[in-house]
Amino acid sequence: MNPFPVIAVFAGGTSSERDVSLGSGLASACALARSFPTQFFDITSNTLPAGIDPKRHVVFSTLHGGFGEDGSMQRLLDLAGVVYAGCDAASSALTMDKTRTKQAAANRGVRIGAGVVFESKSAPTADDLVAQLGEQIVLKPNDQGSSVGLTINSSRQELAASLSGLTPGSWLAERRLIGRELSVGVLRGAAMGVVEIRPKSGVYDYASKYTKGATEYFAPAPLDAATTLLVQRASESAFAACGCRDYARVDFILVGSGELYLLEINTLPGMKETSLLPMSARCAGLDFTALARELVLPALGRFSEAVAR
């Protein structure tokens, strides 16, 4: 048995989130290299890279969006017998679909907001959506991350314009909830610290996420103990409901003093030192290097078991 597998960090990919992924991958590779032999792979096609050896490598993927996060890469790794950190193929596919994620979580008692999912080629009219959801509507891809394509619509006219510009694919229209945006890292089923996100524009869209100084973050979030516990328990319930393993990030919006709504689960969240998952981990006493190590430990256990067979 080889007790020292090489951690193969996958980054880049072919989705619209390629640049974000490269940043996560480089930061993660540097952190993991402090604890393990590490090799960086820039993924440029929807295939396994050359040189991956199931008897030598454990994969730590930072591929965001599309093929890397929807279960497709995970299925390729499973077929090749390669052990990897994070959620398995089935859970990855489920959580990439925001609507299926919310339905699964709602079955465990997690509150979700009203929404309508549809294909762009058969999109409802603005009037139909307003009749169901009201005039304040958030429109976003049902299966993308990093707030790609998200629009906030405050009138029928704005919504009609957004609907006319949809790209092909599955879309989700939701009643806009006004409240405090919260994010929680879950490590091996247990919630870490709660982070509050306060975009200066009022909307946590792509620009607010990736423009320096555009958003304030509070870690831990300034919540009372009971509300903090509510958020943490809801994140653990959503994690379990979707069959997640190892780690994930769960996002919510808190309306008023106690109405907590699930937004989404991100199974391969951003992994730079300033990303939300590392912020949550620091609240629990884990710096970036320690977090990176914790994220791969379960996979190393699976690798040892596989090689021993």
Element (H or E) spanning 283, and its range? helix 276-283
Distance CA 144, CA 97 (A): 8
pLDDT at 21: 95
Catalytic option among 174, 261, 270, 280: 270
Q: The whole model's pTM is what?
A: 0.92
The per-residue pLDDT for 71 is: 96
Tally the residues of the chain: 309
CA–CA dist 92, 61 (Å, integer): 12
pLDDT of residue 283: 97
pLDDT, tens digit, 9 for 90 and up, residues 282-305: 999 999 999 999 999 999 999 999
Selected catalytic residue, list 24, 146, 275, 280:
146
Is 245 among the residues known to form the active site? no
Respond yes or no: is residue 210 known to be catalytic: yes
Banded model confidence at residue 1, pLDDT cuts 50, 70, 90: very low
* pLDDT tens per residue, range 242-263: 999 999 999 999 998 789 999 9
Q: What is the mean pLDDT of residues 115-120?
A: 95
Catalytic residue check, 251: yes
Does residue 87 register a pLDDT over 60? yes
Residue 206: predicted pLDDT: 65
69 counts as catalytic: no
List pLDDT tens digits, range 3-20: 679 999 999 999 888 999
Say if residues 55 and 62 touch (Cβ distance below 8 Å): no
For residue 147, name the pLDDT band (cuts at 50, 70, 90).
low
pLDDT at 94: 97
198 is an active site residue: no
Which of 176, 180, 249, 282 is catalytic? The answer is: 249
Q: Which residues contact 40 (CB under 8 A, 6 or more apart)?
A: 9, 11, 25, 26, 29
Percent of the chain with pLDDT over 70: 96
Is 146 a residue of the active site? yes
Mean pLDDT of 192-214: 81
pLDDT, mean over the chain? 93
Report all structural domains of the chain as residue ranges with CATH numbers, in order of start. Answer: 6-86+289-308 (3.40.50.20), 94-111+178-267 (3.30.470.20), 115-175 (3.30.1490.20)
Q: Which of 91, 142, 162, 266 is catalytic?
A: 266
Name every residue whose Cβ is closer than 8 Å to that of residue 156 and which is 6 or more positions away in sequence. Answer: 126, 127, 130, 135
pLDDT of residue 3: 61
215: pLDDT strictly greater than 80:
yes
Q: Could you say which of 264, 275, 280, 282 is catalytic? A: 264
The per-residue pLDDT for range 160-202, each reduced to its tens digit, is 999 999 999 999 999 999 999 999 999 999 999 999 999 887 7
